[in-house]
């Protein structure tokens, strides 16, 4: 019983938001990225859905395409990423199961959040970092991690909102 209480205290400490008062907030899911096999076929499909607006890519030569859903203030994004090397849907393929795409979370300060993840042992010991914060051509500064079960998560900050 004492071990259970100790474990509870540790989990309670990890989840205690008051210890994060100087942290960058993660405030919404910005986008979901789906790994696809055929860009032309996928773009033909998603372009037919009402209110899906093509905002990046979209040609058969592109390996990455973005659709905006909603208006500028409340929009979310669907990204399509071409990858012909992953056998999507094969339950015996570990990478295929763990690489459906990614979920992208927006934060108000990407560099502060990255530093927090790197310096917090309880986090950095159970995730793997795929890159440092990087400026992307689509207007975000981002980094990717693999969470404990191997799923890819991306944290991003729109560059236009970054304070100098």
Arithmetic mean of pLDDT, 41-57: 88
Write a three-state SS string for the chain.
CHHHHHHHHHHHHHHCHHHHCCCCCEEEEEEEEEEECCHHHHHHHHCCCCCEEEEECCCCCCCEEEEEECCCCCCEEEEEEECCCCCCCCCCCHHHHHCCEEEEEEECCHHHHHHHHHHCHHHHCCCEECCCCEECCCCEEEEEEECCCCCEEEEEEEHHHCCC
The model's pLDDT over 104-117, given as tens digits with 9 standing for 90+, comes to: 999 889 999 999 99
pTM for the full predicted model: 0.63
> CATH number of the domain at 22-161, out of 3.10.180.10, 3.30.930.10, 3.40.50.2020, 3.90.1300.10?
3.10.180.10
Domain definitions of the chain by residue range: 22-161
Residue 37 pLDDT: 85
């Amino acid at each position: 019983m004492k071990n259970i209480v100790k474990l509870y205290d540790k989990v309670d400490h990890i989840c205690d938001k008051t210890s994060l008062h100087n942290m960058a907030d993660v405030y919404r899911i910005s986008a979901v990225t789906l790994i696809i096999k055929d860009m032309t076929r996928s773009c033909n499909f998603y372009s037919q859905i009402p209110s899906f607006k093509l905002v990046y890519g979209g040609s058969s030569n592109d390996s990455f395409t973005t659709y905006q859903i909603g208006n500028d203030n409340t929009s979310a994004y669907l990204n399509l990423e071409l990858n012909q090397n992953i056998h999507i849907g094969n339950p015996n393929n570990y990478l295929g199961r763990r690489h459906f795409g990614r979920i992208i979370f927006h934060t108000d300060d990407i560099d502060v959040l990255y530093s927090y993840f790197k310096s917090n042992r309880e986090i950095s010991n159970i995730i793997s970092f795929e890159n440092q914060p990087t400026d992307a051509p689509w207007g975000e500064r981002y980094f990717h991690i693999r969470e404990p079960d191997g799923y890819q998560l991306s944290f991003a900050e729109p560059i236009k909102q970054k304070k100098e």
